[in-house]
Structure formats: structure tokens, C-alpha cells
Amino acid sequence: MFNKSKTTNVKKADEIILEGISLSKGIAIGPLFVYDSQKVSLKPIKISFEAIESEISNFKTVLKQVRKELQIIKKNVQEKVGEQKAQILDVQMMILRDPELHSKVEDKVRLQRIKWDFIFSEIMTEYHDSLLGIKDSVLRERAFDVHDVKMRVLKRSSSLIPKDTKFRDGAIVVAEILTPTELIDVSKAKASGFVTDFGGVNSHLAIIANALGFGGISGSGKLYSKLANLANSMAILDGRVGKLIVNPTLESLKNYQAEKIKFKRTQTLFTNQRLEEASTEGGISINLSLNLSLETDFHLAKKFNAQGVGLFRTEHLLLDKADYPTEKTQTEIYKKLAKHCFPYSARIRTFDIGGEKLVGNFNLPTQINPSLGWRGIRISLEEIEVFKTQIKAILRANTSGNLEILLPMVSKISEFRKAKELIEEAKEELLQKNKKFNPEIKVGVMIEIPSAALTADIFAKEADFFSIGTNDLTQYTLAVDRSNNLVSDIYTPTHLAVLRILKLVLDSAKKEKISVNICGEMAGNILTIPLLIGMGFEGLSVSPSSIPTVREVINKTDLNLLKQLSAEVFETTENEQVRKILTDFKEEHFKEGLGD
């Protein structure tokens, strides 16, 4: 009686419309090909004492062969999508070279005298499951790299039978899990699109798919089971909005065939316009910056003509590390960031680990409610040397004067003041050691906790800028975990309580004449961008893949209309009405679609 999962019984003859998450833009029309998931079910096979070294040698040989395979794949991908995106495959090669993995497998083979493939599979599954349990999307993405490596190694060792990949040209591939290298394989086999149960908008799968121009959607664990018995059914995949239509009517087919032609034509024009400045028809310029997590993505700031980096998540520097990076290592990374962004600024968020953002091999305490526990600035103010080391690196890297410090999870002004004191201490220590650094640097607050938002007027008198993290702010304001399917429908960034808090923060910032930007998902959502600009926000920080779409939305709208939209929203008292107002505006002003 408590089952809230929304499943539907499907009849094969009926037109079925299924909703998912857009991973990559594109329209595909073709038969469904169900890509069977492989379940690894190896048994521990005993070996003789004399066979141990031979078994270990076989293990090393297979890993070496898989590395060579990946190098060939990387070279082919590089030719199609460029060197930067092809570097995604470097992660898998690093896993194969990992000395800890080698040691674990070899030690267990010697100790247990079991064939290496079983031991390898068990270790990789353990890695995969631990990463998959992390809510941070960038870290969770590593789980799919681990899975990809595991399956490729086991196939090479003949422990698995290869999947059937024979399908008609133009097929839409349906898979429970589709890895980046499998995507490359199916695209070479002339598939036209894909549906998978797992993968986020910033996943390696999405990055490769977008680069290949290969439309795809993710079903968050809900689509594969519905489609498994519909193999060979005709379908339409609309990667722009995350929609799949199975057994489409003749009218739907006709409409989408025309849409597909129009989409291709618009894409060509859109690509040529992506470097334009973002400004409304009323003449207001919007500062459009990037959210970045990886050093390999720094080049995207110039590629998309972004006005700097609004959020660099430094906790991802701790991936697979047993300790924090040194001052020297961090300095070099931040220097690269500053160089790629110049003359625009780059806001560096100090380590936000703890809670859902557990990274590396750090012995953080187990917490009953980690999202509301010891994390962000709370850790920094206790792990003072770690915090000051990071601050020193930022100060030393700031030779061009375009780096800024962003403090996460601040809930009260005393935390901000203490952090500022530590920043001054870091400057003094650099002076004492005669290290060159730039003492002039802006320090801002990440507004993501309601207590900080409701006292924004106090923070605005002392902070140099605000960055609003609407994802966490929405969760904490509405007391809802958006990753919990039982209550995910309550997670509504357009809730009037959230919008009123945003307005309060904006007004406080404007009164003290400090900058404020939005760096949560609202900033990249076609539905909410017009509202945010109408409210008066002049800075949006979004993922690289969202930049062209956000820029086009801004350039297509008139400021006076946006102000009217905002006024209408704030006059209503019904949350459902807010969404209707925004949806109606979207359909009226963007009914011909966007380039993405």
C-alpha cells in the first residue's frame, strides 16, 4: 500500500510516451534494439600451488591487452571528437594501471589460490558499488568507468560471452547500463540513438554522446524494464526533452521527421552563433559563467566564450587520493584555471567534502545525517592547516588577479569571519616565507543554507560576492531529499518559499552593491532562466553543455516581458500556478524550439 513507483502496463500496439532525462540532444527514429545486460556470475575456481605465478602472469597479460584496446579506441575517438573529450578514456587506463588493484588481485590469488578473474570481478564490483552509493554526480560517474573496465577485462579473458550487437541501421539502442566505450561501439555500428537506465547530464556517457551528435536519454532506473519486451518496435527518441515515443502514430512520425530535418538545420546555425554575448533584447548583459569540476575542462571557458568560471569544485582534486594535494600541486592547477579564464574571474570553492561529497580515502566519521553534518566550511574551520594550505595555493596562483575564494556550507556570520581570519593568517605565513602572492582577493559566500539566506543582509556587509546554490537551498528549505523517489516530486525549485528566499538574497546583495550569481540547476533550466532574469539576477553559472542553450534563451527574450513574468509569479499564492505561468511563457516564446 506504500508503493509510490509510477509504472504503467504497456500494450505493444498502443503509442507509448515515456519520459526520461536528456543526456544528449538529437532526434532519432528507428526500431528499438534491446542490448542485453550481462550479469557476471563467476565461481571461485581453485588452482594448484604450482599454477599461482602462471595465473598472475595471465592477469597482467589481459590487463596489458585491454590497455592497448583502449589506446586504439582513444585514438579513434580523438579523431572524431577531439583530444580533450578523448581524455575521458584516460581514467579507465589509470584504473588498469592502479598498483593497489594489481597488489590486491595478486595477493588474493596467492593467499586463496583462486583464479584471478573471480577475484578481479569481486574487487571491481566492490569499487563500483561504493562509488555508486555517492550522491555527488562527478564521483558517481567513476562507478561506470569501473564497470566498463571490469566488463572489458572479463570479456578479454573469455570469462564473458560478448553481447549481440547486430542491429539494423538507425536502431535506437536500449540498455540498462551503457558505458562510454560501448556507446562508441554502437555509434560505429550506425545506431541512431540510445536509452539507458543510468547516467547523468554531466556523465562521461553524455559528454561523448553530445560530441558524437548522438541523441540519448536516461531513465533513472525506470526505462529498461518497460522496454525489454518491446524489441524491434518502431520508436522516436527526442533527446532535446528526454522523451521516447514507442509505436508512434503516423501523425507523430510525420511531425518528427519534419522536426528532425529542422533540428539539423538549426544546429548548423546554432553552432555558428554560440560565441555571441548573452544579453536580453532590452539591452541587459547577463554574466554567463561555467561550473567546472575537472582540470581537463578548463579550456571550455574560452571555447564557449563564457565570462569566466562561476564555480570550480576543488573537492574533485581529491579523487582517488589518500591525502590532500600539496600547496605546490594546487598552486599549479589554480594558475592554469586563472590563465584559461583571463580576463574574467574564476571562483574557487574551497574543499566541500563530507556529507554526500566523500572523496578519496579520508577517514571521516560516520554520520547519521551527513548532509546536515560535518562538511564544507565546518571541516575547514577544524582542519585549519588543510584550509590554509589551499588558501595559500590560491593566493600564490592569483598573479593575474582574477581568482576569487568561495566558502561553502556557511550557516552563520561567525563562520565567515573565522574563515577570513584564517585567510589573513595564510597571507602572513606566506610573507614570512618570502613567497610571492597577491594579497588582494575577493572572498564570497555560497548561499545554500536557509539560515545564511535569511541573514543575507548581514553577510552582504562583509562578503565580496554571493553565489547561490539553488540545489541544496531548495532541499533544505523544503526539507526534501531530491534523490529519494518517494518524495522527489516535492522537490520544486519554483516553490514560492524558494523564490522569496532568492529575492531576499538578491535584494540584500544589491543594497550593498555586491555581485550575486546563481550556480544551481535553476540557472540552466529553460523554464526558470526567464524568471531569474526578470527578478533581477545578472549572473548565471551553468555546466558547459548548457551554455549555448542558456545564451540563446537570454538573447531571445525581452527584458520588459521578463519583468512582467516575474511580477505575475510573485503575485500568485499557488505553487502549481507558478509552474503553469512559467510553462505557458516557455511555450509562447520558445514554441519553435531552441538550437539544442
DSSP per-residue letters across 233-287 = -EEEEETTTTEEEES--HHHHHHHHHHHHHHHHHHHHHHHHTTS--B-TTS-B-E
The label of the residue with cell 510516451 reads 17
153 vs 279: CA distance, rounded Å: 50
Q: For 29-77, give the DSSP string.
A: EEEEEEEPPPPP-----B--GGGHHHHHHHHHHHHHHHHHHHHHHHHHH
For every residue of 63-118, DSSP letters joined together read HHHHHHHHHHHHHHHHHHH-HHHHTHHHHHHHHHH-HHHHHHHHHHHHHH-B-HHH
Which residue shows C-alpha cell 566498463?
A: 148
Judge whether 203 and 141 are in contact, CB under 8 Å.
Answer: yes
| Cell numbers representing residue 41 in the block | 556470475
Residue count of the chain, please give it.
596
SS3 of 449-511: the string is: CHHHHHCHHHHHCCCCEEEECHHHHHHHHHCCCCCCCCCHHHCCCCCHHHHHHHHHHHHHHHH
Task: Give the whole-angstrom CA distance, residue 295 versus residue 270.
Answer: 27
CA gap 593, 259 in Å, rounded: 10
Q: Which residues, listed in sequence order, are joined to residue 18 by a DSSP beta bridge?
A: 244
Instruction: Give CA–CA dist 87/170, Å, rounded.
Output: 28
| Residue 533: all three cell numbers together | 532574469
Classify strands 27-35 and 234-238 as parallel, antiparallel or unpaired.
antiparallel
CA distance 130 to 462: 40
Spatial distance between the Cα atoms of 495 and 578, rounded to a whole number of angstroms = 8
CA distance 361 to 322: 5
d(CA 185, CA 73): 9
Report the DSSP beta bridge partners of residue 218: 21, 196
Q: How far is the CA of 348 from the CAs of 325, 334, 467, in angstroms?
A: 15, 8, 11
The closest of 185, 201, 191 to 148, measured between CA atoms, is 185
3-state secondary structure 136-160: CHHHHHHHHHHHHHHHHHHHHCCCC
So which residues are the catalytic ones? Answer: 204, 519
